Amino acid sequence: MSIDQYLEKELTAVSGAKDKEASQDVVLYGFGRIGRLLARLLIEQTGPNAKLNLRAIVLRPSKGKDDLEKRASLLRRDSVHGAFNGSITIDKENNVIKANGAFIKVIYAKSPSEVDYIEHDIQNALVVDNTGIWSDEEGLGQHLQSKGVAKVLLTAPKKGDIKNIVYGVNHNMILPEDKIVSAASCTTNAITPVLKALNDEFGIRNGHVETIHSYTNDQNLIDNYHPTPRRGRSAPLNMVISTTGAAKAVAKALPELKGLLTGNAIRVPTPNVSMAIMNLNLKKRQIKTV
């Protein structure tokens, strides 16, 4: 690489030039808590040098009126994370949310396969499925039937042979030919880097993971019937013993820990922030000294 090529590459971020080849259209399929937080992060990076450009949000057809205003309002103010840093307006005629100058098309569809993204000038998009409806290759594969979609990212634990990726641990496993990957769960992302560091240094014989987890939308606000009885108790008023698949999911990112960990969760009355406690039996007792 010549000096001129090196300088051009390194100064691209401040020169105003846009690396078009590296730019990726992004579609959020679903717009719940995870979708809105991800939208905020993407919008913050909007600009001529953005590598990820949020182009559209796909929602189920609305039965009520003023759906666009309600979606924009949820993005504008968050009860936990506060106000959006910037301006948000809507364009009803074109079904667009305008956030800090970015035009985000809102598309209504009953299923992934009925969306034609090329019609909306969206090409080779990364679809981020944050609905929680599908978690296997068959269900998520519906996105790949849509025109204009290149790859799919699941923001939840996966089922089947889809790769479970924890960035910083096993992201190098992603290959160009992979069309669908999972970003794993919140707890898996929290504990896997720590487990890798401990296993690399000491070796893990076995262990147990206890997560103290904020309540989620799957629980009831007040005592009421729920298919899982404990989750039927009022989430803001009870500590609820529950299960977690995080201990098993770790093995998808760190195969050497397969079968070595057990785990459970306690849902507690906090709207945000969780904690993981790990009780581990290690193979080595001392830290290496230099």
| Inter-residue contact 62 to 162 (CB < 8 Å) | no
Shortest CA distance to 111 belongs to which of 91, 87, 140? 140
Cα angle vertex 33, ends 175, 93, to 5°?
A: 95
Can you state the angle between helices 246-253 and 186-201, rounded to 10 degrees? 60
Bridge partners, 98 (sequence order): 89, 103
Q: Copy the structure tokens of residue 274.
A: 């969780």
- C-alpha span between 244 and 266 (Å, rounded): 9
Whether residue 186 lies in the annotated active site: yes
- C-alpha span between 35 and 223 (Å, rounded): 28
Which residues are within 8 A (CB) of 220 and not within 5 positions of it... i.e. 6 or more apart? 226, 231, 232, 233, 234, 235
What DSSP character marks residue 202?
A: T
| Inter-residue contact 70 to 58 (CB < 8 Å) | no
Match 């820990």 to its residue by tokens.
257
CA 188, 156, 145, 93 torsion-angle sign: negative
- C-alpha span between 80 and 269 (Å, rounded): 14
Centre a 10 Å sphere on the Cβ of residue 148 and count the other Cβ atoms it contains: 20
Q: Which of 186, 195, 257, 260 is catalytic?
A: 186
What DSSP character marks residue 60?
A: P
Phi, psi of 227 (to 5 degrees): -55, -30
Catalytic residues: 186
